[in-house]
Structure 1
Amino acid sequence: MTDAIARLLPWTGPEGKPCFLVSDGTGYVSRVADAMEAAQMALAAELLAEARRVLAGRAWTSGELHLLTAELTESLAEVRRVAESRGARLAALGGED
């Protein structure tokens, strides 16, 4: 494996620690990670649309806002992990620091 790079995976280990994969990006786990990242990004888009709908209605309950905030917080953490992973891979491929 000559072109192997470390990839931050879009999930954490049992204790919440980051998981990494060292590969050339073409294996099974890489494909699973790609699919999971795509699903996380799609969910983030759906949550954003829902947040806009709820806020535009101006008739929310505190429970609705609490649930929406919890879901948005989780989604933002996932999207941030995807961005970190992709940024690190771009830097590794481009030779940037």
Structure 2
Amino acid sequence: MNPHTTQELRLLPWTGAEGKPCYLIGDGHGYVSRLADDIESVQLNMAAHLLAHTDNLLSDRSATPEQLRYAIARLAESLRDVHRIARNRNTRHTTPGRTDHPE
């Protein structure tokens, strides 16, 4: 291992057995890091589409209680994903000793 490489702990955008968080230790440039970046991008895009769909559903006076409950359940799932991404990015951007700078 290169002694000049900064190792960091990254919270991954998926969970392991029993819903426990998964972490990656590394420099942030490997296959799993790129996969996690791709999954986070998909999750954020899905959240944006879900918000738009929910806005439409809320403005539709004929929306049923079942449709609204389903939308709320999906919003809760999406919010958990987005919250995990935000926690991860905050941790990565505030890690002492990082040599790169967040945008």
Q: Normalising to structure 1: TM-score of the pair?
A: 0.93
| Shift in Å, 1:58 | 2.2
Cα-Cα RMSD:
1.1
Higher helix share: 1
Unpaired stretches in structure 2, ≥5 consecutive residues = none
- Report the equivalent of 1:56: 59
The one of 2, 7, 11 equivalent to 1:8 is 11
After TM superposition, the runs of 4+ consecutive aligned structure 1 residues lying more than 4 A away are: none
Residue correspondence of structure 1 range 2-81 to structure 2 within 5 A = 2-81=5-84
Distance, in Å, in 1 between the alignment partners of 2:50 and 2:62 is 18
Amino acid at match of 2:42: A
Unpaired stretches in structure 1, ≥5 consecutive residues = none
Aligned length: 94
Structure with the greater alpha carbon radius of gyration: 2
